[in-house]
Structure 1
């Protein structure tokens, strides 16, 4: 196999690196004008993610002059320490920096990437969508072209209510629309397959050099993650969260944040059990964050946005290497 002798060079062009610098500056200028405080949070923690589908990098802390070995984890998101800051009395805050997720490298993914995460006090996820659109409009040609509930999209594409349809009906649709060979999946897996394979590619667009965004909200209650569960207009329990899609790419994930520490503790334990059943490493969760919620957490909404994905959409590329100075294969 031929050896690449020029792999010392950056993977992105300098025109894209300039675009990236301007994007980061524009984001900070937006939040400065909005009086949102930029914060730094620890990249190393004694706790890790327990999300069933995300893996953490681990390392060892070895105090000089001892034989102690303490396992620590690179953060996959700044969410937990940011929530501790909110519980301690901070105002609106944001984080813009690197996070780390163990897994695939190439295409749309890099093990280290840039995340923007911010929290606004006293609002819900619907008002936060307004804020997301305002930010994006300030840093790139962007316009919002629609907001749809999860149920609306399933009714439009499949003629079913995703909250009440039987598992058998969902499996039948997956066999018809996605892959006839799949068997024995959980309900959320059937829903995810239908959404990602059929609905997601049609969400948002790119027209006349402008990014067009579509928000999807009121996901099933079983997909609540760290969001509240609420009752919609029809009396159905749903997750108080949204996702933003541009040109078929998920860009942002926002929540009306769960404030119940006991409920969060139970969800973390359930996630650990899910990881165990999938044969994945079971990490310790952030008990300090749970304690912070129990101590009193303000009504707020928060959102995480992938800056590399935003840059890729602006550059009209599907290769993350095209927007990074050095992607993982050149790191």
Structure 2
């Protein structure tokens, strides 16, 4: 073992700046009467999203001598929605989240997430509030806004809502992704590839940029837009080559949510991925009743990277996975 692996991966000065940012965020929500909450990191269920991999463990103890399977949460979303259904009102949380198979310049398998929910908000009023927080923390101009359709058309000259699988395959091949495109049969995988590699680098460079109204097939936790059934009330925030936030005009229909979870697991099975138990407690909370609301998850580590002008995530967290 290297003799200096005991040392933090971030400089103490950076950690002091991080602490000040966290304090400012808490003051931001306190001033708006949004209650801070804490929910479990370990849960009996996890996300079914085919693009996310959870850590799992087993609890052995009283009442569970045979072992209780548990998952480290990729987001506090499900538990926070249960609080909303119980009448919590507007809430926020600063917590650790965990995603397996993710490590690199902008990723650490354990990371800090800010998540908040606003009853009565939609995706546009929530974007307004996210924008206010970004201006406060990063001292940036108000964010630009583009629909997913506009972002694709500007960057690649193609309409992502009407393009056929074949045309997306051909475009991906032209853009240098033949090794993936020639065998990919899922439109959304090709759209996500093209968006990540060719659209994202062209937006949010000089000031933050919201991209909203993602395809309905890419928004398993968002409500479908009434004016256009092809898109959902989902937005993402981008700035200087980083995805910072992912927000939704939340889906509140229990039957539709269960249907989407089952579709995710069918997709997992088709791709030889392990199925993930549906969160039946979330479904029960939705059945009890969750009023119209909007919620967003924002990556704190990436926000601190931008605020302190650091190039890698390990420079803004006390100990990255290599030193944990």
TM above 0.5, yes or no, is yes
TM-score normalised by length of structure 1: 0.93
Q: Paired residue for 1:314, among 294, 304, 307?
A: 307
How big is the shift at 1:313? 1.6
Task: Compare 37-46 and 235-244 and name the one that shifted more.
Answer: 235-244
Partner residue in 1 for 2:220 = 225
Root-mean-square deviation (Å): 1.5
In the TM superposition, what is the alpha-carbon distance from 1:71 to its structure 2 partner? 1.1
Give the match for residue 174 of structure 1.
Answer: 172
Deviation at 1:82? 0.5
Match of 1:130 in 2: 128
Q: Normalization by structure 2: what TM-score?
A: 0.95
Q: 1:95 aligns to what SS in structure 2?
A: strand
User: How many angstroms apart in 1 are the aligned matches of 2:110 and 2:309?
Assistant: 21
What is the CA-CA distance between 1:236 and the residue it aligns to? Answer: 5.3
1:88 is aligned to 86
Q: How big is each residue's C-alpha offset from its partner over 1:3-48, in whole Å with a ceiling of 9 and x where there is no partner?
A: 4111100000011101110011010000000000000001111111
Distance across 2 between alignment mates of 1:144 and 1:5: 46
> Which portions of structure 1, spanning 4 or more consecutive aligned residues, are displaced by more than 3 angstroms?
64-67
- Measure the CA separation in 1 of the matches of 2:201 and 2:220: 23
> Quick check: 2:114–2:297 contact (8 Å CA) kept in 1?
yes
Shift of 1:52: 0.5
Give SS of 2:213's match. Answer: strand
CA displacement at 1:116 relative to structure 2? 0.3
2:249 is the alignment partner of 1:256: yes
1:171-203 deviation digits (Å, cap 9, x = unpaired): 111111232333131111111121111110122
- Give the superposition deviation at 1:204: 1.2
Aligned length: 322
Name 2:110's counterpart in structure 1: 112
Alpha-carbon distance in structure 1 between the residues aligned to 2:299 and 2:64:
40
Does the Cα contact within 8 Å between 2:220 and 2:257 map onto a contact in 1?
Answer: no
Contact 1:133/1:143 (<8 A) preserved: no
Paired residue for 2:38? 40
